[in-house]
Amino acid sequence: MNRIKIFATACLLCMTCTLMAQSKSARAEQTIVVFNDVMRQLDVNYVDTLPYEKMTETAINQMLRQVDPYTVYYPKEKDRDLRMMTTGKYGGVGALIQQREERQNDSTETITKKDKKKPNTYIIISEPYEGMPAQKAGLLAGDRILEIDGKKMSGKTVSEVSDALRGTPHSMLKVKVQRDGAAEPLTFTVEREEIKLPPVSYYNMVSDKVAYISFNEFTEHSAEEVSRALNDMVTNNGAKALVLDLRDNGGGIIDEAVKIVNLFVNKGKMVVSTRGRIKQLERTYSTTQEAAYPDMPVVLLVNHNSASASEIVAGSLQDHKRATLIGERTFGKGLVQSVRSVAYDGYVKLTTAKYYLPSGRCIQAIDYSKHQGKAEKDSTGGILPDIVMPDTNRKVDISYTLYAKQLFYDYATRYRAMHASIAPVNEFALTDADIEDFCRYLDEVGFTYVTETSKFFNEMLDMAQHEDLDSTTIAQLKAFVPQLQPSFREAIARHRSEVVRLLEAEIIERYYYQRGRAEYMLKHDDDLKKALEVLNETL
C-alpha cells in the first residue's frame, strides 16, 4: 500500500512539474506570437524601410534588461567581444581609447542648461600597454586620434574607432594623431597583433619574505600565470607568504577560480557549488590536486569591485581558513552565466544559477527577480573581509574633483611633452616648482573649484529666498558662502600629499606604463601595509 502511495505521489509531482513547464512554455509562445505579429504589421504597412536587425537587437536588449544586468545578447558581428571576455585575446594594437569632450571654462557651469552648447567630442589613446603594437609604434597616452587608414575619426564613437583599430593579426594600419606640444599631426604605422591582456599585471617582493601579485581577471590560463609568478618569487626570492590583490577584479571563468583556490587548499575540498531552477545543471566544484602551497600564509586584498570569480576565491579561502581578507565588502555578484548559441550565429549569455560557498553562504547580494527588474540589495551578500579598512578613496575633496575632471591626466600629458625622461620610479618626486606649474595650468584651463558643500548650500539659499525667511536670516546665510568656496590653491595646499601622490602616479605611468604606476602606488597603499602587519606576525 505504501508503494502505491509513493508511486502515486511521484506521478502527481511529475504531472505538476510538466503542467508548470507547459504553462511557462505557453506564456512564452504567446509573447513570441505577439512580437511576430507586431513585426509583421510593421513590415507590411509602415511607410518607410525599417532597420530590422537594429530593431530586433534593441528589442532583445530591452527585454534582457528586465532580467538582470548580466544576461546579454551578442549578435554574430559582436561575438568577438564575447571571445575577449573569456580568453582575454583580440587582434588589435594593445591600447585603451577614450572619448573626451573639448574642455570648457568652468565658468560655463553658471550658464543654464538651455543656453549650453553641446561640446565637441574626440577620441584619444588613453592608455597604451607596454610592449604592445601601439606603444612599440610610438603612440602615447593623450594622443588625439584624427585618422585611421585615411578615414577621419572626427565625431566617431569609441566603438567605431575600436572597430577601426582592431583587425587580423599582422595586418598594418596607419594612425594619424595630434600630440600635445607638436605643431603638426603625426602619423604612425602600426602592425596589429593578437593581443592577450595579462591577467597578472604586476608581481614583486614587497618585503624580504612577502610576495605580492596583482591579479586582474579570470581568463583562460590565468591561474597558471598566478602560479608561475608565485613560483618565480618563491624560487628566486625566497618568498614565504603572499599578498594576492583581487581589488577591482570583476571575475571571469569559474574553473580558473577553482585552480587558484587549489594552490592553497588540498585535494577533495569543496570550493563552490551552483544552485538553480534546473536541478540537472547544479554542480559542486572541488579541488582536484594536492596544493602547491598548503601552508603558505596568504592575505587577499578585496574591495567593492571584487566580483564573481574573485568572490569565489575570497569566500572559499576564508571558509577553509586559508587566507585573511583585508579591504571592503565585495560586490556580491554570485550569478552563474552560461553561453548559449541562438539563431544566425548569435549568442546569449544568461544567468542559470547562483554561487554558494562551502559554508552555505550565497555570494549574490542583489535580487533581480522582484518588482519587475527593480533590484533589491541584500546587505549580507558579497564577502565581508576579516579586517575592514576605512574607505579613504571616496572622499569628495579637491583631489576627487581634479581626478573627475581628468586634470591630473591632462597635465601629465603636457608634462610628458615637456620632459623626455624622468628619474626611476623609486626616485621620482615632483618639486615645489612642478606643483606651482600645475596650479598655473589649472588657471590656464579656467578651473574653478566648486565644493559639493557649496553646491548644496546654494540650493538651500535659493530655497530660503523663496520661503518666508526674514532678510536678516538670509544675509547671515549668505555670509557663509565665501567660507564654503576656497580657492583651488588653498585646497591643494590643504590636501597637498594626496594631490602630489595622484599627480606623480599619472606622470610615472606616462614613462613606465602600468608596471611603474603599480610599483609607485603600492608605496602608499594602506591595505598593503595592513597585510604586511598581519603576515609579519605569522612569519
Q: Judge whether 414 and 397 are in contact, CB under 8 Å.
A: no
Rounded Cα distance, 516 and 352, in Å: 41
- Mean pLDDT computed over 387-403: 84
pLDDT confidence of residue 343: 86
Secondary structure element (H or E) that encloses residue 186, with its range: strand 186-191
User: Residue ranges of the domains in the chain?
Assistant: 18-50, 89-196, 200-388, 398-449+486-536, 452-484
Superfamily of domain 89-196: PDZ domain (2.30.42.10)
Mean confidence (pLDDT) of the chain? 87
Burial (0-12, 13-18, 19+ Cβ within 10 Å), 291:
middle
Using the structure block, give the residue that is written with the C-alpha cell 548559449: 340
What would the mean pLDDT of 395-421 be, rounded to a whole number?
94
pLDDT at 240 over 90: yes
Orientation of helix 452-466 relative to helix 471-478, angle to 10°: 170
Q: Regarding the domain with residue range 200-388, which homologous superfamily does it belong to in the CATH classification?
A: 2-enoyl-CoA Hydratase; Chain A, domain 1 (3.90.226.10)
Instruction: Supply 340's cell numbers.
Output: 548559449
Residue with cell 601579485: 213
What CA–CA distance (Å, rounded) separates 223 from 20?
Answer: 42
Domains 89-196 and 200-388 share a fold: no
| Residue 321: pLDDT over 80 | yes
pLDDT computed for residue 478 by the predictor: 74
In contact, 445 and 180? CB cutoff 8 Å: no
CA distance 219 to 82: 12
Query: What is the percent of the chain with per-residue pLDDT over 90, rounded to a whole number?
Result: 61
- Band (3; pLDDT cuts 50, 70, 90): very low
CB within 8 Å of 162: residues ≥ 6 apart: 92, 97
Residues 6+ away with beta carbon under 8 Å from 241: 209, 210, 211, 296, 297, 298, 299, 535, 538, 539
User: What length is written for the chain?
Assistant: 539
Q: What percent of the chain has pLDDT over 70?
A: 88
C-alpha cell at 401: 574633483
What grid cell was written down for 205?
A: 617582493
- Residue 88's pLDDT is what? 61
Phi-psi label, residue 537: left if phi above 0, alpha if psi -120 to 50, beta otherwise: alpha
pLDDT surpasses 70 at 315: yes
Q: Quick one: the chain helix, strand, coil %, rounded to 5?
A: 45, 20, 35
pLDDT, tens digit, for every residue of 114-168? 455 667 899 999 999 999 999 999 999 999 999 999 999 998 999 999 999 999 8
C-alpha cell at 244: 594576492
**pLDDT beyond 50 at 6:** no
Q: In the predicted model, is pLDDT for residue 7 greater than 70?
A: no
- pLDDT band (50, 70, 90) for residue 277: confident
Cell of 459: 540650493
For residues 220 and 85, what is the distance between their CA atoms, to the nearest angstrom?
A: 10
pLDDT above 50 (res 385)? yes
Please report which confidence band the pLDDT of residue 4 belongs to, taking 50, 70 and 90 as the band edges.
Answer: very low
Q: What local confidence, expressed as pLDDT, does residue 255 receive?
A: 96
Strand 72-74 relative to strand 387-388: parallel, antiparallel, unpaired? unpaired
447 closest CA partner among 395, 483, 491:
491
